[in-house]
A = this chain, B = another copy of it.
Amino acid sequence: MTTTELGLAEALVRLAHTVQHVFGDVSREQDLTPQQAQLLCVLIREPVGMTELTRLLHLEKSSLTGLVDRVERRGLVTRVPDDRDRRACRIALTDEGVELAHRTHEAVTNRLDARTRRLPAAARSHVLAALDALS
């Protein structure tokens, strides 16, 4: 009865793999690891605390500490003390970090758009609506 849509799950997995690959290529060109690039992109909108970051990136806090350490050591982010809570800090992009984050985000978007551009407009909006429903 539950007629499984043959291949849709597989297609999603393949797509995820493709996206991951694009992201990896772009990161390498910016001399970043994919994880570092992802962190920068998440911070574009606004500075974020460590605990919130673990939710956004699906990482344990101990893993996150090291990731932030390394990116901070490169001068791309800083730990800004939170004056409401002296235990906490928010991770903010430096000027250099903002620049690199935008470059990375734009490159990823461009390459993905280059692929979707082949699709007819109707298909794009269908996919967009469906993907929004999925995540």
Measuring CB to CB, which residues of chain A are less than 8 angstroms from any residue of chain B? 2, 4-5, 7-21, 23-24, 58, 108-109, 112-113, 115-119, 121, 123-135
Whether A15 touches B15, Cβ cut-off 8 Å, given contacts A8-B127, A118-B133, A124-B5, is: yes
**Bound complex: CA of A115 vs CA of B12, how far in Å?**
11
- Residues of A contacting B: mostly: helix
Is B8 touching A128 in the complex (CB atoms < 8 A)? yes
Number of copies: 2
Q: How far is the CB of A9 from chain B (nearest CB, A)?
A: 4
Which of B13, B119, B123, B135 is close to A17, meaning CB atoms less than 8 Å apart?
B135
Is A15 touching B129 in the complex (CB atoms < 8 A)? no
Is A20 touching B16 in the complex (CB atoms < 8 A)? yes
Is A112 touching B17 in the complex (CB atoms < 8 A)? no
Whether A58 touches B15, Cβ cut-off 8 Å, given contacts A9-B109, A123-B130, A130-B127, is: no
Whether A19 touches B16, Cβ cut-off 8 Å, given contacts A11-B128, A119-B133, is: yes
Query: With a CB–CB cut-off of 8 A, which chain B residues contact A119?
Result: 130, 133-134
